[in-house]
Amino acid sequence: MLKNNHKILHYNLVFAIFLLLNFKTSNARSERGTPRRGVVAWVTMKRWLGHLNSQGELLRIDRPVDVEYEAGAIADLLVKNNGPAVIFSQPRLADGTISEIPLVMNLFGSKQRTMQALGVSQEDEIGQRMVAMMKPDIGLFVKRPWKALPLAKDAMAMPPKKKRTGACQRVKLPLDLTKLPIPKTWPMDGGNFVTLPLVITKNSNTGEHNMGMYRAQVFGPKQIGLHWQIHKHGADHAAMHGKDAKMPVAICIGGPPELIFSAISPLPDNLSEYQFAGILGRKSLPITKALTQELMIPANADIVIEGYCIPSETRREGPFGDHFGFYSLTGQYPVLHVTAITARKDAVLPATIVGLPPMEDGYLGEAIGRQFSPVLKFQHRDVSSVHLPMETGFHNLAIVASKQRYPRQARKTALGLLGAGQMMFLKSIVAIDENQDPRDLEALLDCLNDKVDPATDLIVLKGQVADALEAASKYENVHDKLIIDATTLAKADPRGDDEPLEGSYSQHTPQWRQYAGSEKASQYPAPKPEDIPAFLANVLKLDLVSDARMLRDSMLVVSTSVEGRPSVKTGCDPSLLNEKENALLDSQELVRREQIIQLRNSIWQLDNNYGIRWLFVTDDDLDLHAEGARKRLLWQLTCRFDVERGLTFDANKSRLCWDATTPIPSKVHGTRRWPAITLHDEETLQKVASHPELENYHWPQHLTFHESVKSNGGE
C-alpha cells in the first residue's frame, strides 16, 4: 500500500537518525518539546497474558477441554459476547492425552484489547507515525531538533536485532505436530489448523524475509499445509525458488502482539514485517537463525515449526471454516516437511476461530484498518475516511467518505482504492460525502435511499480480481465489482440544476436526485409507494414471499424459500454427485432464477409509483425482525451476492433487484460448488454449556439459521 513512498520513507528515516545522533541538548529541553515516548513492546506473549490477567481480561479454564471443536466454540461464544481472552491449561488432544503446552484464544477479541496490544490510545496513532516518517516537517526539525525524537526513535527501532540463540529454541520438541494443542474449530474442517501462524519465507534473489499469516493444516506428524494464495508473498517466493527446489519455511506461533499485528498489516514491499514490529513496539525485534533452515526467525516466538516445501508438491487442503462465515473450498497447496519443532520454556499456543461475524479477526481487521487510515489518506488525498464493516467479512463492502469538489470525484476515489493493496479484493464500494461517518450504517441507508439513482449512480466493473475465498463468484479469483455513488452532486455536474459549462450539455436527471443532500431536498422528495403499510401488506400476500421488511421508503427486503437450495449445514459439491443428481441441480437452479424474476416483477407491479428503487431478496433462513437482524442482513446481502449473477434492473433502469439468495451449483448456469456455513454441532454446544464459567454468556439470536420464517411483516 505504501509502495510508491518507499524511497521517501528511507531518506526521511536517515534524516531522523542523523538528528537523533547529533542532538545535543538537555533532558529538560526535550521535556518542553515533544515528550519522550516509552517503549511499548510487549516482548513476549507471557507479558501480554500477564497484562490481560491483571485487567480481568483473561478467563482460565483448568479442567480438560477438547482442542477439537470445544475450545473453538468457547472462544466463539466469548467473542460474540464481548468476553475475555481464555487460556485452556489442560487442552485435550484427539488421542485423549493432555498437552503440556496451554492453548490460548480470543486474545484480541475486543476493540479495547486491540488498542492495548498495539500500545496506542488513539485509533489512528500508528498511521500518524507512519505518515510522519513519509513526510516529516523538515523545517520544524531543523529549527527544533527535539521535535524529531519520536520519529528518530521509531527509525532506530526498525532494524531487527540478531541474537545467537533465541528463547524460542530452548526446548526441542518431538517431530510430531499432533502433540501440539492445534485446534479443529468446525465440524467440516479438513483437519486441525494453525490459525495464527507467522509463516516465514525469503526471497531467494535478495534474501529479504517475509512474514505472512497463512493458515496451516496439519496433515500428519511431520507434514503441514501452507495455504498461501496466489496473490501472496509466500506464493511469490515459491515461484522464485523453482517448482522442484527445496524452499526453507518456518511457521512461528505466538510471540508478542506487535509481531502478530505486523504479519497482518498492509506494508510496502521494502518494509519488512520484522522492521514494522520494531516500529510498533519502539524496540528492535530480536531474531535468530533457525536450527535446521537458512532463515532468520523471531527469537521470542512461543513455538517454531521449521521445514521445507517443494513448490510443485501439493496436497488437497481444506475445507476450513473461514472469515466470510462459510467453509472455504478445498484446493491444492504446498506441503511443509517438518525438520524441527522448538519452543520457549513457558510456551503457549495462541489460536483463533474464524466464521460468522463478529469474530476476533474482525477486531484485528478493524484495528489495522483504522490505524492505517492516515496512510491511506496520505496516498489517496481525496479520501476522508474508510470503513470495511466486520459483518461483511471486510472484502465484500467498503464505505468511503470522499471529497466531491468536482463532478464524479468520489468515483475516481473508489477506482483508486480498488488498486490499493488488499482492497483489490473488494466486491463493492459505496462512496458517500466527505463529512459523513462511514461507520454510521443507519446514515448509509439514508444515503442509499435519498441519493442513489440506479440509472446513473451504479458502475459495474466486469472481470476484476477477487479474493480466493470468495464463494459467490462464477470464477475463482475473478468477479465483477460494483461502485455505488451516494454522494451529493458537485457543482458543475451535468446532472445538477446549474447552467452547463460553456459548450457542454445537461444530463437528464430526476429532480429528487439533483437536489439530494441540498437545502432544496425537502421540496423534491424521492418517489415512494403511495401507502407503504398497504403496499407491504400486499407484498406479504404474494405466494413467493416468506417475509418482508421496509428498510427505508425506497428500500424493501423480502425473504423467499427456494426449493433445492444448498443446506447451510452441508453445502453442495456437484463433483460428489452422479449425472442424474447434477441434472436435477441444473433444473433447480433454473427454477430458482425464474422464481427470483417472477418475485421481482410481482413486487414491481404492486409499486405503481416506481418508489421501490432497492429490492433486496434473500433466503428465509433469517428472521427479518429478530434483534440484530440488520447485522445479519448485511452479511447475507453481501456474502451471498454476486454482481454478475444477482444485480438486475427494470426496463427504465429506475429500479434494481439485488438477489442474494443462495445459488444452486450448476455447470449449465455457471454456479460453482457452494460451501456450508460455519455452525457448531449440538454435541459441542452441550459441552460448552456445561462450563459454569460461561453461564452468563448467550448465543446471539440473529445468528440462528431457520428452516423457514413467516410473519405478518412490518417494521
- What does 72-129 look like in DSSP terms, one character per residue? HHHHHHHHTTT--EEEESSEE-TTSPBPSS-EEE-TT-SHHHHHHHHT-SSTTHHHHH
Q: Which residue has the cell 496512510?
A: 375
Nearest to 406 by CA among 425, 434, 447: 434
Q: Which residue is associated with the grid cell 537458512?
A: 294
pLDDT on residue 275: 95
pLDDT higher than threshold 60 for residue 615: yes
Per-residue pLDDT for 29 more than 90? no
Query: pLDDT: is 242 or 365 the higher one?
Result: 365
Alpha carbons within 13 angstroms on the beta-carbon side of residue 110 total 16
Domain boundaries, given as residue ranges, for the chain: 3-37+121-155, 380-523, 532-677
d(CA 492, CA 393): 37
The per-residue DSSP string of 530-579 comes to: SSHHHHHHHHHHSTT-SEEEEEETTEEEEEE--TTPPBTTTBB-GGGS-H
pLDDT recorded at residue 510:
93
In sign, the C-alpha dihedral spanning 239, 241, 242, 245 is negative
Q: Which of 151-155, 352-356, 703-707 has the highest mean pLDDT?
A: 352-356
Residues 613 and 607: beta-carbon distance below 8 Å: no
Ordered strands of the 428-433 beta sheet: 383-387, 398-402, 428-433, 478-485, 458-465
What distance in Å separates the CA atoms of residue 81 and residue 712, rounded to the nearest whole number? 30
Cβ-in-10-Å burial (0-12, 13-18, 19+) of 312 comes to exposed
**Sign of the CA dihedral 68, 74, 76, 77?**
positive
Tell me what pLDDT residue 371 has.
93
- In this structure, the strands spanning 478-485 and 547-552 are unpaired
Q: Let me know: does 266 contact 364? Beta carbons within 8 Å.
A: no
Q: Is the pLDDT of residue 714 over 70?
A: no
**CATH 3.40.1670 for domain 532-677:** yes
CB 447 within 8 A of CB 432: yes
CA nearest to 676, candidates 72, 189, 225: 189
Range 528-543 average pLDDT: 95
Rounded mean pLDDT, 642-659: 97
| Element containing residue 257 per DSSP (H, E) | helix 257-263
Q: What is the DSSP string of 224-256?
A: EE----TTSHHHHHHHHH-TTS-EEEEEEE---
Distances (CA, A) of 542 to 26, 387, 536, 538: 80, 37, 10, 7
Average of pLDDT values for 441-459?
A: 96
Q: How confident is the model at residue 22 (pLDDT cuts 50, 70, 90)?
A: very low
Which is nearest to 421 in space by CA: 386, 471, 454, 456? Answer: 386
CA angle 557, 559, 563 (to 5 degrees): 150
pLDDT exceeds 60 at position 386: yes
Q: Is the pLDDT of residue 655 over 90?
A: yes
Hey, do 380-523 and 532-677 end up sharing a CATH topology, with the first three levels equal? yes
Average pLDDT, the chain: 91
Closest listed residue to residue 472, CA positions, set 646, 678, 319, 615 = 646
Q: How far is CA 560 from CA 36, 661, 691, in A?
A: 61, 8, 38
Q: Which three cell numbers stand for residue 294?
A: 537458512
pLDDT score for 7: 47
User: What's residue 232's pLDDT?
Assistant: 87
Look at residue 171 and give its three-state secondary structure.
Answer: strand
The order of strands in the sheet holding 286-289 is 161-163, 286-289, 296-298
Q: Which amino acid is at 19?
A: L
Residue with cell 520438541: 173
pLDDT score at 39: 55
The dihedral through the CA atoms of 387, 392, 398, 401 has a sign that is negative
Nearest C-alpha neighbor of 225 from the set 258, 189, 171: 189
Helix (H) or strand (E) run with residue 593 in it: helix 579-606
Straight-line distance from the first to the last Cα atom of the chain, in angstroms, rounded to the nearest whole number: 43
Segment 34-81, tens digit of pLDDT: 323 455 689 999 999 999 999 999 999 999 999 999 999 999 999 999
Instruction: Work out the pLDDT band at 707, boundaries 50, 70, 90.
Output: low
Confidence at 226, pLDDT banded by 50, 70, 90: very high
pLDDT of residue 702: 85
Coil, helix or strand for 638? helix
pLDDT tens, residue by residue, 327-375: 998 999 999 999 999 999 999 999 999 999 999 999 999 999 999 999 9
* Residues that are catalytic: 322
Average pLDDT estimate for 643-664: 97
- Closest-CA residue to 3 (of 233, 249, 257): 233
* Beta strands 171-173 and 331-343, pairing class: antiparallel
CATH no. for 380-523: 3.40.1670.10
DSSP annotation string for 366-396: HHHHHHTHHHHHHHSTTEEEEE--GGGTTTT
Q: Which of 407, 405, 410 is nearest to 385 (CA)?
A: 410
Tell me what pLDDT residue 233 has.
Answer: 86
As a whole number, mean pLDDT of residues 493-514 equals 90
Task: Name the CA dihedral angle for 16, 22, 25, 29, rounded to a multiple of 10 degrees.
Answer: -10
Radius of gyration from C-alpha coordinates of the chain: 27
**How deeply is 8 buried, as exposed, middle or buried, from its count of CB atoms within 10 A (0-12, 13-18, 19+)?**
middle
DSSP assignment of 7-64 equals: HHHHHHHHHHHHHHHH----HHHHHHSSPPPPP----SHHHHHHHHHHTT-EEEE-S-
Predicted TM-score (pTM) of the model is: 0.91
pLDDT bucket at 15, cuts 50 / 70 / 90: very low
Cell numbers describing residue 21: 545522533
